[in-house]
């Protein structure tokens, strides 16, 4: 029966949807003046607008988001990470750690059993946060929706792990590289670009909307996001609209999708897509989805890659970091 099927599946689906959108996307703000490396306890206000106190320097960290895992490793905290979620796959060494399947809910008991003194997460909902607060494990939610907020989150991660100096250095590098990109593309006419995130059903692809990290990257890289008018980070649109808005460039963020990966050559054979400017002019490119969908350290690589694809004339020299189209 349909009703039962729905109870079975949609309940779970809605739970996930709640996780994704349930909490305000406020950028975390530091509630105190920067403390010295050993200056614990540290108190921060996180993306769930909770004040979280980290009483002493964390030694056992659980990361429930690939972006935060990457940042923690870059901060030199790989040794301290005791477990990470299923999607944390970078750097390679993280795969040796305990893996936590966080869907439909994070495994609270497993997490508590790991005796962490810090849990960082990205999307999980308020019910999980309440549980963690109840057991007294400092749990910080960091949910960046732009390049600037990503930098803030790296700063926060540095502060709550006693690696402020390294974090500041990372942020400075990311700011410098952002400025360099912005200088290169300055004055270039912005190119209309669609970033595709999933096109298993090419009649209604998921694309980057106006609010969110990827939309922000497109604009900063000298692009004009084709669906900037939509108030979601990622949004499912009609193919009619893609044809009608007719982007100059299509970026495929789904060439490494675990289910039905897409290829630039195959876009032409989608019904009607052969007429799109990007397809006719051969401007359909792959992008590394991990670099653009994870608001962490590698975001700047994604930014540089997109800028290079949108404005090749502004980047005459070969890329320092290998792009995905070579």
| C-beta of residue 251 within 8 angstroms of C-beta of residue 182 | no
Q: Is 35 in the site for another protein (CB under 8 A)?
A: no
Our CB check for another protein shows the closer of 39 and 261 to be: 261
Q: Which residues lie closer than 8 Å to 3 by C-beta, 6 or more apart?
A: none
Contact with another protein (CB under 8 A): which of 113, 165, 200, 319?
200
Residue in 227, 229, 177, 236 with CA at minimum distance from that of residue 205: 236
Q: Is 224 in the site for another protein (CB under 8 A)?
A: no
In this chain, which stretch among 148-156, 171-179, 225-233, 295-303 interacts with another protein, using CB under 8 A? 225-233
Contact with another protein (CB under 8 A): which of 34, 76, 104, 282?
104
Residue in 309, 282, 152 with CA at minimum distance from that of residue 218: 309
Our CB check for another protein shows the closer of 10 and 135 to be: 10
CB of 126 to another protein, least distance (A): 19
Q: Which residue has the tokens 């100059």?
A: 248
216 CB neighbour count, 10 Å cutoff:
24
Q: Is 10 in the site for another protein (CB under 8 A)?
A: yes
Q: Which residues lie closer than 8 Å to 255 by C-beta, 6 or more apart?
A: 261, 262, 263, 264, 286, 287, 289, 324
Q: Is 65 in the site for another protein (CB under 8 A)?
A: no
Number of residues engaging another protein in binding (CB under 8 A): 49
Contact with another protein (CB under 8 A): which of 90, 122, 206, 285?
206
Structure tokens of 54? 């980290």
Q: Is the dihedral of CA 161, 164, 100, 139 positive or negative?
A: positive
Q: How far is CA 325 from the centre of its chain?
A: 21
In this chain, which stretch among 24-32, 156-164, 166-174, 226-234 interacts with another protein, using CB under 8 A? 226-234
Task: Point out which residues bind another protein (CB under 8 A).
Answer: 1-2, 4-10, 12-13, 16-17, 86-87, 101, 103-104, 198, 200-204, 206, 227, 229-230, 235-241, 243-244, 246, 257-261, 271-276
């Amino acid at each position: 029966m349909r009703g039962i099927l729905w109870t079975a599946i949609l309940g779970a689906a809605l739970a996930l949807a709640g996780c994704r959108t349930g909490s305000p996307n406020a950028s975390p703000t530091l509630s105190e003046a920067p403390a010295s490396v050993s200056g614990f306890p540290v108190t921060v206000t996180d993306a769930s607008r909770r004040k979280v106190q980290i009483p002493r320097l964390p030694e056992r960290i659980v990361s429930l988001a690939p972006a935060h895992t990457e940042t923690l490793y870059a901060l030199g905290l790989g040794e301290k990470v005791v477990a990470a979620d299923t999607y944390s796959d970078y750097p390679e060494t993280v795969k040796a750690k305990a893996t936590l399947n966080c869907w439909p809910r994070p495994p609270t008991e497993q997490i508590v059993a790991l005796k962490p003194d810090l849990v960082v997460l990205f999307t999980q909902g308020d019910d999980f946060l309440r549980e963690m607060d109840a057991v007294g494990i400092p749990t910080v939610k960091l949910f960046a929706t732009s390049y600037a907020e990503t930098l803030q989150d790296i700063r926060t991660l540095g502060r709550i792990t006693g690696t402020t100096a390294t974090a500041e250095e990372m942020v400075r590098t990311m700011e410098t590289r952002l400025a360099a990109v912005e200088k290169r593309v300055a004055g270039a006419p912005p190119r209309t670009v669609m970033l595709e995130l999933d096109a298993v059903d090419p009649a209604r692809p998921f694309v980057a909307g106006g609010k969110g990290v990827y939309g922000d990257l497109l604009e900063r890289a000298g692009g004009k996001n084709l669906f900037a008018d939509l108030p979601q980070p990622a949004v499912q649109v009609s193919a009619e609209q893609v044809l009608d808005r007719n982007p100059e460039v299509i970026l495929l963020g789904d060439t490494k999708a675990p289910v039905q990966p897409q290829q630039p050559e195959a876009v032409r054979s989608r019904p009607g897509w052969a007429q799109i400017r990007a397809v006719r002019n051969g401007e359909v490119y792959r992008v590394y989805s991990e670099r653009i969908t994870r608001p962490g350290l590698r975001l700047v690589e994604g930014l540089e890659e997109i800028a290079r694809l949108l404005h090749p004339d502004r980047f005459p020299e070969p890329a320092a970091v290998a792009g995905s189209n070579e």
